[in-house]
Every structure is written in C-alpha cells, then in structure tokens.
Amino acid sequence: MATYSQILGTGSYLPVKIVTNYDLEKMLDTSHDWIVERTGIRQRHIAAEHETALMMAECATHQALTAADITPSHIDMIIVATTTPEKLYPSTACLLQQRLGVAGCPAFDLNSTACAGFIYAFSIADQYIRSGTVKTVLVIGSEVMSRVVDWQDRATCVLFGDGAGAVILGAQNKPGVLSTHLHADGTYGDVLAVPIGVGKPVAQYTYMTMKGNQLFKIAVNILGQLFDETLTVNGIHKSEVDWLVPHQANMRIIHGMAKKLAMPLDRVAITLDEQGNTSAASIPLALDKAVRDGRIQRGQLLLLEGFGGGLTWGSALVRY
C-alpha cells in the first residue's frame, strides 16, 4: 500500500512586541497609507533579544506536538527553514533537537531557500515519508527578519516581521500531500539578497538588498505558471481548491493569485496585514492561524505556495 504524508498538527509563535505603520512613520520617511496601499501591511511583530529563531521554533513546535497529540520521541527528522539562524552551525535544527531531547534523528537547516524555505522543507519531508524512510517529520519556518533588514532603508524594513510556524507531517496510507513542486533560477540572484558571507567584511554586506519592482513582476509570472503546473500534474480544476495558503509578501500579489484561481479572498489564508512578510515562517503561520480559528477543515484541499531569494519558488497541494 502506498504511503503518503499528512499534516498531523500545526503551531506558531509570534513575538510579543508589535510595531505599527504609525510607529514606523516616526522613524522613517514613510506613511501608513503608502505601506497599506503598496503592500497591505498594517503592523508586524518584532523580536526582543531573547526571541531568537531557536526560541520561536521551540515554542511553535510544542504547540504543533500538542495539536498532533504526539510527544517529541515520535519525531524522526527535524528540518528548520530559516534565513536568520542562531549560528552558521550547529544548525537551529540541531539546537532544537537538543532542547527536545531527541538525539539521533537527522536534523538540519535550510538556510538559503529564503521565503520559499518552508515549501522546500515541506517537500523534502514529504519525500522522506513517501519513501518509507521516516514516519514523522517536524518542519519549521522560523525567522527574525528584523535582524537582517536595514532599519534606515524604508524600501525594505517596512515589509518584514518575525515569527515561527511549525507543521508535523506523519505517514498514513491515504493522501495527504498530493504533490510538491520546487524550482529555482539563479539568474535572478541579485534581485533579492543578504550578501553577507564567510570572509566578507561584515558592515558592507549585512543587510538585505531588494529590487522590489522587478521581483514583484517575476513573482506574478512564476506563481501563475506554478499554479498551472500544480493543478495539471494532479488533474485538478482550480474550482476544486478550497484554500490558497500563500507566502505573505504583498497583498497585491496575493490578490492577483486569488484572481488567477477565481477564488474569493475569504478562501485565502492571509496574515500579511497583521504580521508582514516573515519569510520562511509566513506559510506555516498563515496555515496555523486558519486551522486554529476553524476556517481550514479536515478533508479540504489546500494550495500552498512560496517564492523568495535565489530565486526559489515552490508549491504543495495538500488534502488537509
């Protein structure tokens, strides 16, 4: 009998501190109206010193474990998608494994898949479960984006927020995850980058650089193709999709994608207005919110999509 992966439970963590657009108006040459009109963002959560990628990942994990009704001892693999890890190594996943007390299982970070990191991690977890290698995988997106944006650069800092989302995928004999689709195009590497690297003088390269307008146009194009690919591979018409769970980068992109699927906005899991762009954490955060408040129900068909630096992008079609 074929093995599939199923979402067993979800969890999340958001930093306590909220920074509104009005707060940013006091620090930068920007306005609430510009940010809302161009992005849809109204506020974002910003991490305090103790709210690190590890700390937030751990909190989200405990929620997900409770939701899945399992203990850490059931976890066979840990994957943390983060562009803002605790250290180059040990990985955030290994640090988390130590805190969970489950030494022995594979644990690793996906660092450079940026905002598509969660989809990449989710896809890897799904492949390992389908192959029968493991039964239960903890998949996390955890980001402190506030520490890689230049707070003097209004074109980027207003867009991002911090947080973590966790999903537990487990083996079962009916789908589950129907398919995942991953892509990358290094030609567009300079469109979105945090160019710090080993051996580079730090000050010059620490912060994110983004060609927002170009990225916007590429995103709309590649996401449209990605939806077509995902639906075609599964022989599914867009009307069968119950929920779009998108990466939360820009409300105009999200609206465009909903339109492509002919989907009303109340069928799109949106957190952008309250959380900003939390990079690899944005999809599991949006998923967890819609699951917890009862909007997403068991048996419904979900389309998850993400895109980010690299460029990287990907999707997952999931029977929840």
- Given 45, 94, 111, 247, the catalytic residue: 247
Q: Residues 140, 95: contact at Cβ < 8 Å?
A: no
Query: Is residue 247 among the annotated active site residues?
Result: yes
The nearest distance, CB 213 to ligand UT7, in angstroms, is: 4
Look-up: residue for tokens 């909007």? 295
- Paired sense of beta strands 107-110 and 77-81, if any: parallel
Q: Which helix (H) or strand (E) holds 80?
A: strand 77-81
Alpha helices for the chain (secondary structure H): 21-25, 32-39, 53-68, 92-100, 117-130, 154-157, 202-205, 212-234, 251-260, 272-275, 282-292
**Which positions from 230 to 269 touch ligand UT7 by CB under 6 A, shown as an x/- string?**
-------------------xx-------------------
Question: In this structure, what token pair is assigned to residue 119?
Answer: 């989809």
Q: In the range 191-210, which residues lie near ligand UT7 by CB under 6 A?
A: 192
Residue nearest to ligand UT7 (CB): 212
Draw the binding track, 267-286, toward ligand UT7 (x: CB under 6 A; -: no contact). ----------x---------
Q: How far apart are CA 88 and CA 49, in angstroms?
A: 18
User: Binding string to ligand UT7 for residues 207 to 226, with x set by CB under 6 A, is what?
Assistant: -----xx-xx--x-------
Burial of 256 (0-12, 13-18, 19+ CB in 10 A): middle
Closest by alpha carbon to 106, among 119, 120, 118, 124? Answer: 124
Q: For residue 70, which phi and psi values (nearest 5 degrees)?
A: -130, 165
Q: Which residues of 284-317 are buried (b: 16+ CB within 10 A; e: fewer)?
A: bbbbbbbbeeeebeeeeebbbbbbbbbbbbbbbb
At 11, the amino acid letter reads G
34 binds ligand UT7 (CB under 6 A): yes
Residue 165, interface with ligand UT7 (CB under 6 A)? no
Tell me which stretch binds ligand UT7 (CB under 6 A): 28-36, 98-106, 141-149, 261-269.
28-36
Among residues 138 and 140, whose Cβ is nearest to ligand UT7? 140
Q: Is 158 in the site for ligand UT7 (CB under 6 A)?
A: yes
Q: Does 39 bind ligand UT7 (CB under 6 A)?
A: yes
Q: How far is CA 119 from the centre of its chain?
A: 7
With binding defined as CB under 6 A, does residue 30 bind ligand UT7?
yes
Site string for ligand UT7, 108-127 (x = CB under 6 A): -------x------------
Contact indicator for 230, 266 with CB cutoff of 8 Å? no
Position among 18, 36, 155, 301 found at the interface with ligand UT7 (CB under 6 A): 155
Min dist CB 216 to ligand UT7, Å, is 4
Catalytic sites, residue numbers: 115, 247, 277
Residues found near ligand UT7 in the complex (CB under 6 A): 30, 34-35, 38-39, 115, 154-155, 158, 192, 212-213, 215-216, 219, 249-250, 277, 308
